[in-house]
Amino acid sequence: MKIVFHGDNASTFEPGFSNLLDARHDIKILSDTLDGAGETEAYAQADVVIGVRLTPEHPRSAARLFQVPGAGYDGIDLSVLSQSCALCNCFGHENAIAEYVMSALLARHVPLVEADAQLRRGDWHYWAGGPSGLRTELGAQSIGIVGYGHIGKAVAARATAFGMAVHVANRSPISDDHLAGVYGLDGLIEMLGSVDIVINTLPLTDSTLGLIGAQALVAMRPHAIVMNVGRGAVIDEDALYDALSNDQIGGAILDTWYVYPSPSTPQPMPGNRPFHKLSNVTMTPHMSGWTEGTIARRRAAMADNVNRLATGDNLINRIR
């Protein structure tokens, strides 16, 4: 079969990919813009396209499988996808994201960098025995996880291990004795007012766009923080910026955004609003799931699907 890795993101998974295949296939790496010699033809003739974007501007493809090298498929225009082409995604990022979440939260309670810098100046501010250096504990915090899929479950397990009270809001029913509170998405407002930390893990769909808006943010406790490791637009951008700039909530840790690099704008600011000017925001460039382990697990899952396609077996993580 002919397999193409379309774009910089997808090409990350190509090294070692052929070693996981049961048969030899013709594999090519294509640029995001498909403006190299023969790239348009290779894309159109591929049996398998691995990529994160599909728009009406892309060449029509005869592919039997469009494989997204990640969980989110909001970059795929389903109306462009041939009815005979399967669409699959893959996961494997939940452990990495859960580590990011706990690291970001711990940093707010265990100021290692600040303490190190102070002690190098002879400042013993955090010395045990001094009343000025008392810290808070992450385990004393309550956390509300919006979405209880791969990421939500991984975060909940680690938060529970730290002794945190874990609340979850999810579309489908949940049965888990370790959770302090379970809500449907119609009870999201109630949950947001009950926790110290709110974490969005949801993907972007028609039903989740702007799900956490002004009303939801108003319901949060004044000291509470919100974290986004799902998709940026699940949290309404204007409402979030206004809540942060007005100190309506305690702060935010944002890893997923509203503006992303493109071939025409490779280094944009990540929002339409100036989040970078707010002191109560920690900003990272959509890095939470991007680890060597994630790459290896996703590469293996995608190779498994190619092997399944070649032998006519059922594909895994099939969306349509």
Tell me, what's the pLDDT at 306? 98
pLDDT of 175 higher than 90: no
Which residues, at least 6 apart from 42, have a Cβ–Cβ distance to it below 8 Å?
A: 2, 4, 28, 30
Tell me, what's the pLDDT at 132? 83
pLDDT of 188 higher than 90: yes
pLDDT band, very low/low/confident/very high, at 177 (cuts 50, 70, 90): confident
Mean pLDDT of 205-222: 97
pLDDT of 263 higher than 90: no
Under 8 Å between Cβ of 22 and 307: yes
Q: How far apart are CA 66 and CA 86, in angstroms?
A: 6
pLDDT of 258 higher than 90: yes
pLDDT band, very low/low/confident/very high, at 262 (cuts 50, 70, 90): confident
Under 8 Å between Cβ of 142 and 164: yes
Where does residue 38 rank: exposed (0-12), middle (13-18), buried (19+ CB within 10 A)?
exposed
Q: How far apart are CA 235 and CA 208, in angstroms?
A: 9
Q: How far apart are CA 294 and CA 179, in angstroms?
A: 27
Amino acid at 170: N
pLDDT band, very low/low/confident/very high, at 49 (cuts 50, 70, 90): very high
List beta partners, residue 2: 26
